[in-house]
Structure 1
Amino acid sequence: MSQRLSFDFSRRPLVPYAHDYAHGAAEPWHFHDCAQLIHTLSGVVKVETQHGSWVVPPSRGVWLPAGTRHALHTVGSVAARTLFVDPLARADLPASCQVVQISPLLRELIVTALTLPEQYGAGSRAERIYELILDEIRVMDVLPFGLPLPESERLLALCQQIQQAPGEAWTLKRAAAQLCVAERTLARHFSRETGLQFSDWLRRARLSVALTRLAQGDAVLTVALDLGYESPSAFSAMFRRVLGVTPANYFPVAEKRVPR
């Protein structure tokens, strides 16, 4: 049974919260009657929902609409800065779970919000900052770190098997043969239920594992080979296309500065 957590938005449209997690910490299944933006300054957070999982690398964030049942698992020392947002604060807040890019401006606004008073006057600095945060939330860029899960039992079982052994030589042909269906049939159903092509879903599944293991300090070479890449350079090329830097540089860069 999920625990419900509530917040008072009578005085302000969002409630900022800072919390640090030790490696391996977790939060059980729960939900909020408000929306939530979790921004990680260090470490990796994995968010599980009924419809999929989202891995949040350092310096990124995850958006959870109001009422989303979720559980959290952390890897590494996680410094999290969270905003609990009144779902009525804006009519066009994001409507689905998503990993998002946190702009430098939004990052500093979140940190600043922790120092603002709960009560403030119209036209005050606090009001302008709160309103600017809401404006920035509306234009956050969505990142390809979500791993949606299908609803049908057979496809869900397939995805769970892949997640347990992501380094195996998974192809659409192999998956179709395992399910005794044509490749086109599997491709059509997989895309319809997850919103992703099979190859894109597989790449995201492997990236999720890679982010978790790299955060634990595993060597790039070991992670690349364990995930089925022919060479560390092939893995690094994929990683750089998605994150903008090589895996060897990503975590040190992300964890240089952790505001309090």
Structure 2
Amino acid sequence: MAKSDRNYVPELPDDDHFRSLEWIEKANAPVLAIGKDYGSGLVVPLHSHSRTQLWWARSGVVLVRTPDGRWMIPPGHALLIPAGMEHSAEMVSDVRMHSIYISPTASQARRPLVLEVSPLAASLIDELVGVECATSSERRESLIMDLLLEEIPRLTERPLGLPFPRDRKLAALCRQFLKAPSAAANIDEWAERLGISRRSFTRLFRQETGVSFVTWRQQACIFASLPRIADGEPITTVALDAGYENVAAFTTMFRRMLGAPPSLYLRTQAA
């Protein structure tokens, strides 16, 4: 069954974190729901679950790390984490988290997926966590669980995952890029820094990340901009710092990835 609002705590020390993990492993219900508040900067240590997790940022921005990539969870989105996958998390801002745990057989995902949470899914998760209703009959809760399991596969995927290469030298370049992202970065510069040809670089990059350099660069620029936008920095400043020639170009890419322009994202964040 869902944990109620009585289990809603502001910031969990390690002991509480591991008690929650123990509860998740021992529970028998088909769907488990937990709600927690985390303070900005809090780090959740590396761990895994025997269940698939849907980690929804009800508010705030979360950065999740896995062995193969980094995944940004902005407000209104959730990260689907396959069962057994080790991951850690860092709160980029104050975060209200709603987490759903389901059977591994309820999802076919083999990699993390950032999903846009629909209004229906949001309402169902709120009900299970206990925000809207502290008590519920077993039949009603079972129906909510069943409908949520039907809704999760219908959620829209958003490209907010940033795959990271295993190659040490290439990974170092990627980490440097995230500290100072630029939409003007080009293949020839990176190839030269690695001491290889352009063709060898493009082949290596796709082998290591599964996407082209241009696609990764676009995603990384938006990825790095989200915490700044969430903090209320002017969109013009963020866009120009990211190497975009103008706000319109930044807005177009932002809309393509998040399904809405930065202005709407900001209104959603404020709400």
TM over 0.5: yes
Q: CA separation in 2, counterparts of 1:73 and 1:12?
A: 28
* Superposed counterparts of 1:121-140, under 5 Å: 124-140=139-155
> How far did residue 58 of structure 1 move?
0.5
Report the number of matched residues: 249
Q: Write the letter of the residue equivalent to 1:103.
A: S
The answer (yes or no) to whether the contact 1:61–1:99 under 8 Å persists in 2 is: yes
TM-score scaled by length of structure 2: 0.84
Q: CA separation in 2, counterparts of 1:142 and 1:214?
A: 21
- For the pair 1:43 / 2:60, whether they are aligned, the reply is yes
Q: Which residue of 2 aligns with 1:239?
A: 254
* Superposed counterparts of 1:182-221, under 5 Å: 182-221=197-236
> How far did residue 149 of structure 1 move?
0.7
Q: Which residue of 2 aligns with 1:73?
A: 90
Match among 59, 68, 92 for residue 76 of structure 2: 59
Listed one character per residue, the Cα deviations across residues 28-52 of structure 1 (whole Å, up to 9, x for unaligned) are 2222222111111211111111111
Which segments of 5 or more consecutive residues in structure 2 lack a partner in the other structure?
1-16
> How far did residue 193 of structure 1 move?
1.7
Listed one character per residue, the Cα deviations across residues 88-115 of structure 1 (whole Å, up to 9, x for unaligned) are 4x2x432211111111111111111124
Q: Which residue of 1 aligns with 2:13?
A: none
The answer (yes or no) to whether the contact 1:42–1:80 under 8 Å persists in 2 is: yes
Q: Percent identity?
A: 34
The answer (yes or no) to whether the contact 2:77–2:117 under 8 Å persists in 1 is: yes
The answer (yes or no) to whether the contact 2:183–2:218 under 8 Å persists in 1 is: no
Listed one character per residue, the Cα deviations across residues 218-239 of structure 1 (whole Å, up to 9, x for unaligned) are 1112211111111222212221
Which segments of 5 or more consecutive residues in structure 1 lack a partner in the other structure?
none
Shift of the 109–93 alpha-carbon distance from structure 1 to 2, 3 Å rule, reads farther
Q: Which residue of 2 aligns with 1:16?
A: 33
Structure ranking higher in strand proportion: 1
RMSD after superposition:
2.2
The answer (yes or no) to whether the contact 1:41–1:255 under 8 Å persists in 2 is: no
Shift of the 36–119 alpha-carbon distance from structure 1 to 2, 3 Å rule, reads farther
Q: Write the letter of the residue equivalent to 2:63.
A: K
Match among 167, 172, 176 for residue 161 of structure 1: 176
TM-score scaled by length of structure 1: 0.87
Structure ranking higher in helix proportion: 2
